[in-house]
Amino acid sequence: TVALIQNSEKLALVGQMAAGIAHEIRNPLTSIKGFIQLLSKEMKEKQEIFRLLLSELDRINFVVNEFLVVAKPTAVEFKPHDINKILLDVNYLLETQAIMNNIEIQMNTASHLPLVNCGENQLKQVFINLIKNAIEATAFGGKITVTSGDVNDEEIYIKISDTGCGIPKDRLPNLGQPFHTTKEKGTGLGLMVCYSIIESHQGTMKIESQEGVGTTIIIHLPVSTPNQTSQMQAIKSIV
Ligand code: ADP
Ligand code: MG
């Protein structure tokens, strides 16, 4: 719990900072992109340069958007959803990327999983971030296992395990901190976003890892109660 609380304080701080700058960055980006597209139509011989310019712009856009996830609390509709269906959707989205790396994603989802009151797109975002990390950590030919089931009458769990590189013990406390990344093209924002979204669902997320063996992410989420209808909830969300 202490770590979770520390994380949420950091999130609040980063959020305030990000809210101030992210919007200011996004607007000029959009007009720069428009002008570049215009120019590229007139200067056909410089296509490669324009392609690079646009892809670098997209990257700035991507980082700013990830930032906005934690920066801007928006109203999201929470509805009872079948988590297994969300997991299958995400599996479908990432299948190609896994196949290209010869990684098998095994889905061990429980039948008759109780519904969870949640923001569907927000949880999708969490599972995408986590399975992407698992793919990126796993060498050619590895395996990712996604499991779901009951913890008790009040909670379900989702477990994402990989046979990837694992995380050294001394780096475990850094996970979820903004910009902590070991990847050349990483943002170090993915896990922070996951913590933030899971927390807004009154859930918990834990990371277990052994260097050279693999990593397991365990998420617990409260199941929806029978009288719980759809409701609007302030959540740090993707815009
Ligand atoms: P990014 O993926 O952009 O680096 P994340 O917040 O998603 O940012 O992850 C932060 C860091 O945590 C990664 O750079 C990586 O070192 C480590 N990490 C996250 N997930 C895994 C995993 N499944 N296996 C090994 N390392 C991981
Ligand atoms: Mg990531």
Q: Can you give the chain as a three-state secondary structure string?
A: CHHHHHHHHHHHHHHHHHHHHHHHHHHHHHHHHHHHHHHHHHCHHHHHHHHHHHHHHHHHHHHHHHHHHHHCEEEEEEEEECHHHHHHHHHHHHHHHHHHCCCEEEEECCCCCCCEEECHHHHHHHHHHHHHHHHHHCCCCCEEEEEEEECCCCEEEEEEEECCCCCCHHHHHHCCCCCCCCCCCCCCCHHHHHHHHHHHCCCEEEEEEECCCEEEEEEEEECCCCCCCCEEEEEECCC
Q: What is the pLDDT of residue 138?
A: 96
* pLDDT value, residue 16: 64
Residue 219: predicted pLDDT: 98
- Collect the ranges in the chain with pLDDT lower than 50: 237-239
Residues contacting ligand 1 via CB (< 6 Å): 129, 133-134, 137, 162, 164-167, 175, 180-183, 186-191, 215
- ipTM, two decimals: 0.99
Alpha carbon nearest to ligand 1 atom 21, residue? 133
- What pLDDT, on a 0 to 100 scale, did the predictor assign at position 177? 86
The reported pLDDT for the residue numbered 239 is 31
